[in-house]
């Protein structure tokens, strides 16, 4: 039995969380969008999932809520990915710092 579905589910749930983080300051920097799309492609998300991510990054679709209960099991991986995203545009604002703290608390 393969564990791929769980890995795929983790990647998509993480992407949904990262979208929330990217939009925390009401703006998605070009570097953030690029980093998210590159991560999504490396994570081998389905074409449908990539379309959802792209639409959200473009502000054309509402952000899907992440399953935090599912993400708790990989808290360290999640926080590392969030921190990587926050530093991708080299401008970590107060709103982004606050959301990192909130995510850390939610995943406990």
Domain parsing of the chain, residue ranges: 4-106
Q: Write out the two tokens for 57.
A: 């990054």
Q: Model's pTM, two decimal places?
A: 0.80
Least confident of 1-5, 11-15, 30-34, 102-106: 1-5
Tens digit of each residue's pLDDT (9 = 90 or more) over 50-63: 999 999 999 999 99
Query: What are the residues whose beta carbons fall under 8 Å from the beta carbon of 78, sequence distance 6 or more?
Result: 14, 17, 71, 103, 107
* 59-100 pLDDT, tens digit each: 999 999 999 999 999 999 998 887 777 776 556 567 667 777
């Amino acid at each position: 039995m393969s564990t791929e579905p769980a890995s795929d589910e983790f990647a998509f749930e993480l992407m949904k969380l990262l979208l929330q983080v990217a939009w925390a300051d009401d703006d998605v920097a070009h570097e953030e969008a690029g980093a998210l799309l590159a991560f999504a492609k490396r994570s081998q998300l389905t074409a449908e999932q990539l379309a959802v991510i792209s639409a959200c990054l473009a502000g054309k679709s509402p952000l899907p809520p992440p399953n935090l209960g599912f993400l708790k099991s990989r808290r360290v991986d999640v926080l590392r990915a969030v921190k990587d995203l926050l530093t991708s545009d080299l401008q970590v604002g107060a709103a982004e710092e606050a959301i990192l703290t909130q995510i850390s608390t939610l995943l406990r």
